[in-house]
Amino acid sequence: MISVSRSLRLSLRTDIPGVRSVVRQFVPVVVGRGVVQLSGYAELLLASLLAVGAVAALGYAQIFYLLPISLFGMSVAAAELPELSRLESSDRELLGVRLQEGLRRIAFFVLPTMACYLVLGDLMVGALLEGGRFGADETRLVWYVLVAYTGALPAATATRLLQSASYASGDTRTPAAVAAIRVVLVVGLGVVLMIQLDRVVITGPGLAGLDGLGSLPTALHLLPEPARSAEGTLRMGAVGLALASAVGAWFEFGVLRRRLAGATRVTLGGGSLTKIALAAGAAALVGVGTRSLAGDLHPLLAAPLAVGCALGAYVIVACWEGVADARDMVTAVRRRLGR
């Protein structure tokens, strides 16, 4: 074996400019990047004050919610960070172009995910979780929480890229400050919404099966202990926490977007996003039609069928509209099949 690291030596010196920069920016970057997890922990803590089942419903929904953020938002942001860091501070137009491309790439994967969560989320939750004491009502509650979280997906994923652009420009404090404000906003708004919605009980399928426990309280107070611990009742308090999280995500996205839009002098949007949104709408329609044809199939069979048809329709419509990402995907699949 040949040693290639004889010249490397461990050192604790901090007088090197690069080391000082890393140490100084470490904490702000951790706070900015970890805001989704910090917000999730705060929501779970608040959910523990609600009726039985709120923590479980919120935790299960967060699994679905965090998946596209980790897969699409973080991956695109990590891939773009080196390229963004190479740009000179004067290359504002080029920075704006790269941000537009990154946001389009994220939207290409996130918008169909949103469509599936909104119209097929109960099937997906049922296929993965239903069984034993986890029945149809529990599936419906997790789906309601997931629908509330889904409203935050475009903002939560795109914010990862906007943070990378801020880091590339040397600004790590602004994303950290905005992230801290977001956590405070989510906690404050979450307390208000969770207490109000924890008085709404699931009694049957669909939105028609939601009953309120009398009039909503004028003053904020938790439900009495017997109501919180009653067996067989599922309440909507966790949905309030998810809604607060969605508001916080859009707040963070809006602040960072406005700052970067002014710095790049380029509008962070474009016609491609409209095409992708139309394709995602077509996917939702196909998903609804497929699930109606599936009838009473078990979610373990109905979910793959409906989701597969919806995503297939999405790729077809996106290709027909000329979305470059869809065409590249189809070309890559053809090459692999050709082998």
Task: List, for residues 279-336, the tens digit of each pLDDT value.
Answer: 999 999 999 999 988 878 888 899 999 999 999 999 999 999 888 888 888 888 888 8
Beta strand 200-202 with 210-212 is antiparallel
Q: Place 119 in a pLDDT band, splitting at 50, 70 and 90.
A: very high
The proportion of the chain whose per-residue pLDDT surpasses 90, expressed as a percent, equals 30
Partners of 131 in the beta sheet? 134
pLDDT above 70: residue 164? yes
pLDDT above 50: residue 221? no
**Least confident interval from 9-23, 108-122, 136-150:** 9-23
Distance separating alpha carbons of residues 256 and 304, to the nearest angstrom: 37
pLDDT above 60: residue 222? no
Q: Place 218 in a pLDDT band, splitting at 50, 70 and 90.
A: very low
pLDDT above 50: residue 233? yes
Task: Please give the pLDDT value at position 268.
Answer: 52
pLDDT in tens, 168-204: 777 778 888 888 888 889 999 999 898 888 877 766 6
Task: Please give the pLDDT value at position 284.
Answer: 95
CA distances from 191 to 48, 184, 231, 244, 252 (A): 12, 11, 24, 9, 19
pTM of the model: 0.82
Distance separating alpha carbons of residues 46 and 197, to the nearest angstrom: 13
**φ, ψ for residue 133, nearest 5 deg:** -80, -10
What stretches of the chain adopt beta strand conformation (E)?
200-202, 210-212
Task: Please give the pLDDT value at position 216.
Answer: 44
Q: Place 18 in a pLDDT band, splitting at 50, 70 and 90.
A: low
Distance separating alpha carbons of residues 99 and 266, to the nearest angstrom: 9
The proportion of the chain whose per-residue pLDDT surpasses 70, expressed as a percent, equals 76
pLDDT above 90: residue 102? no
What does the DSSP 8-state code read for residue 212? E
The domain spans of the chain are 22-269
Distance separating alpha carbons of residues 266 and 98, to the nearest angstrom: 11
